[in-house]
Structure 1
Amino acid sequence: MKNSRTDRRTRERLSREAIAASAVALADAEGLEAVTIRRLAQDHHVTPMALYWHYKDKDQLLDGVAERLFGDVDLPPVGSEPWPRQLRAALEAVLAALRPHPAVAGLATSRILSSEAGLIVAERTLSHLRQAGFSPETAAEIGGYLLSAVVTLVTSEPGRRHGDDDEAHEDAIRVKAASLGALSPRRYPNIVASAGSLAACASPDAYYSLGLDMLITGIRGIATEPAKGKPERAS
């Protein structure tokens, strides 16, 4: 009976959600490659079997991590504003959930339809695109592109911090900026002129805002161009 009660308490403490949260924290600190069932079990001072109760293998564990990310998306209520504003607000919510976790953000792209939390985000995105007049097929294509683009914004942020060593982070930025600035100004005048910005964002918030501006502007352009033949106009 003692072992049974101990096993039950362990499973309760190591809930599916708690394990996923630990996996995200580990990836934030050491990278996605560090996330394994064995490592998480070690960190929680349990045997791997305690985690297999919830996740049978690493792929299922990564599904849980993606589910955790989408669960953190705080979508705004559906309103009466024009669809571009509502779509942008939805993308901002996704970005806010992914931005603190660049090491695992890439999991979102292929796993959005694998959990209830992801399905809610997908449904909202497709709803706004359908409101714009796109057919179900085109809305699905654009929706997939939008998620991939948001993920890329997060994973490709210039000068994104790795770890907690401020001095090493600043040194890495200086080295990259100096390397780009030392290129031949005759052959690469624009790279040399942009060396500092290519090495690190002057303002990460402005970087993300510009990225969303480009996405929404592009979709609005497609939605209002009849020559494309893709939007399905509402009667």
Structure 2
Amino acid sequence: MKKTASDGRTRERLTREAIADGAVALADAEGLEAVTIRRLAKDHGVSPMALYWHFKEKDQLLDGIAERLFTGVDLPPVSAEPWPEQLRGVLEALLAALRPHPAVAGLVTTRILTSEAGLNVAERTLSHLRQAGFSPEHAAEIGSYLLSAVVTLVTSEPGQRHGDDEEAHEDAIRVRAASLGALSPRRYPNIVASAGALAACASPDAYYSLGLDMLITGISGIATEPAKAEAEAAS
């Protein structure tokens, strides 16, 4: 495709960050499958060549989206609080950045170590896990699990809204609840009893708080043995 002078001027104005922000907004509205370089170029009123200057292929664009999500993680300052509280603060900051963008939240799982913003999140997470007494190897494994768990909380929220059609969203929840509620109560008594909660969260905030409670409680429960082992090794 022939590059025009206007493409050159637009390239100066159209930053990598602005393109990634546009991609996130498009995914929020229409889903990740709608995000293409051609579509973003059209939305920005430029030719695809103007975007290729920053992202030569879609995988690079997806990397840029993940980087923007990590940039939005407002890490709390390091404090004198016990490590479980500090670790929870990091997970809460990550959750706050991902929760508004469920369509692209899954992109961060394999991209946390590919940008400075992601590296900062990883470093803080590993630091608190090392404080808990875990070895570098175990801290890396647990840190990866925690990232995946937070992403899963976001992408699997029951009754999560997609797009701007409130009526369609409410209709979908009613259909889902009715479908589960219509199952045989003899064969599936607990699913029938929980039909409403399975179709949609009564309180999304409570749903996320419970999820973090389970993660921190679980990590705290297994932290004592590694800490004891390292203390004995050092003595």
- Preserved contact between residue 69 and residue 97 of structure 1 (Cα < 8 Å): yes
Matches of 2:8 and 2:166 in 1, distance apart?
Answer: 42
Write the deviation string for residues 200-232 of structure 1: whole angstroms up to 9, x where unpaired: 0000000000000000000001102x3xx6875
Q: Offset at 1:8? A: 4.1
TM-score normalised to the size of structure 1? Answer: 0.94
The runs of at least 4 aligned residues of structure 1 exceeding 6 Å deviation read: none
Q: Offset at 1:11? A: 1.2
Q: What does 1:27-38 align with in structure 2 at a 5 Å threshold?
A: 27-38=27-38
Q: What does 1:86-105 align with in structure 2 at a 5 Å threshold?
A: 86-105=86-105
Tell me the residue number matched to 1:174: 174
Aligned length: 229
Matches of 2:42 and 2:159 in 1, distance apart?
Answer: 32
Q: Offset at 1:187? A: 0.5
Give the aligned residue type for 2:201. C
Tell me the residue number matched to 1:42: 42
- Preserved contact between residue 76 and residue 90 of structure 1 (Cα < 8 Å): yes
Give the aligned residue type for 2:33. E
Q: What does 1:135-174 align with in structure 2 at a 5 Å threshold?
A: 135-174=135-174
Tell me the residue number matched to 1:121: 121
Tell me the residue number matched to 1:65: 65
Structure 2's unaligned 5+ residue stretches are none
Give the aligned residue type for 2:190. N
Matches of 2:228 and 2:123 in 1, distance apart?
Answer: 18
Give the aligned residue type for 1:123. E
Structure 1 residues 17 and 126 mapped into 2: Cα distance closer, same or farther (>3 Å)? same
Structure 2 counterpart of 1:233, from 198, 221, 230: 230
Cα RMSD over matched residues?
A: 1.3
Structure 1's unaligned 5+ residue stretches are none
Give the aligned residue type for 1:155. T
Give the aligned residue type for 1:95. L
Higher mean alpha-carbon deviation, 8-17 vs 25-34, is at 8-17
Where 1:233 maps in the other structure, the secondary structure is helix
Q: Offset at 1:45? A: 1.3
Where 1:184 maps in the other structure, the secondary structure is coil
Q: What does 1:186-205 align with in structure 2 at a 5 Å threshold?
A: 186-205=186-205
Tell me the residue number matched to 1:9: 9
Higher mean alpha-carbon deviation, 67-76 vs 41-50, is at 41-50
Matches of 1:82 and 1:233 in 2, distance apart?
Answer: 18
